[in-house]
Amino acid sequence: MRRLGRTSIPPILLLTGQLLTEDFWAPLKAALPGRTFVHPDNGADDTIAGMARRALAATTGPFSIVAHAMGGFTAFEILRQAPERVADVALLGTLAPNDTPVQTERRLGYARLVEEGKFEQVVEERVPILLAPAHRSDAALLAQVRAMAAATGAARFLKQQAAIMSRADSRPHLAAINAPTLIVWGREDGIVTLAHQEEMRDGIAGARLQIIEVCGHLGTLEQPERTIAALKDWLTR
């Protein structure tokens, strides 16, 4: 994979996680008012490959990627489909391997609840593991997370689940990534582990890992100042 020259400032492709909307990126947009952001639909496809094709069609030329969680799976697929278009990558709260059988069974359980009309129950079960313990009683933050889940809706959530369950294992492809890569992880993330982050850092040549303290899975919302500072420094370096 070749590295792109910076003759012009590329747009930033925002790849959003499950049950989240474009609002997740509001602090980043506010911090970089002069940049162009592209936010492809993250709930219209039921495969990661389809999400990647949609994202690639949403803009032309080279771009930077900022990806969170499920968006990271899409980022890895974009790096397989069109590596020459990726200027650089920032990965937040994501991981390279595909699901274990235990994780797949849990997702199937969520799908069964949704099909029984219990989408809100699924959301409430997930909220505690998304946030650091210190943030689980923050009423405004909880309302924001629930509002994004409601905006996603049950049908789109099921497509996202199907895409996540069928995704490829990206670990064998890490060594082929030449795009400069930043990895950002919240110390109290209940979804992905430090070992997952170190695996990506060690597998991608030159990758940097930045850890955000007192932060769970939703860094731009839980610790916006620290998370956005890391991303801004990376994108304007």
| pLDDT digit string, tens, across residues 169-202 | 999 999 999 999 999 999 999 999 999 999 999 9
Give bridge partners of residue 90 from the DSSP assignment: 66, 182
Reply yes or no on whether the pLDDT at 6 is more than 70: no
In whole angstroms, give the CA distance from residue 197 to residue 92.
Answer: 9
Domain range for 22 = 1-237
Residues paired with 63 in a beta bridge = 86
The domain that holds 138 is classified in CATH as: 3.40.50.1820
Mean pLDDT of 38-65: 97
Exposure class string for 83-112: b at 16+ Cβ within 10 A, else e: eebbbbbbbbbbbbebeeeeeeeebeebbe
What pLDDT is recorded for position 128?
A: 86
What is the tally of structural domains in the chain? 1
Confidence of residue 7 (pLDDT cuts 50, 70, 90): low
Rounded to two decimals, the pTM is 0.94
- Write down the pLDDT at residue 3: 45
Reported as a single tens digit per residue, the pLDDT across 73-122 is 999 999 999 999 999 999 999 999 999 999 999 999 999 999 999 999 99
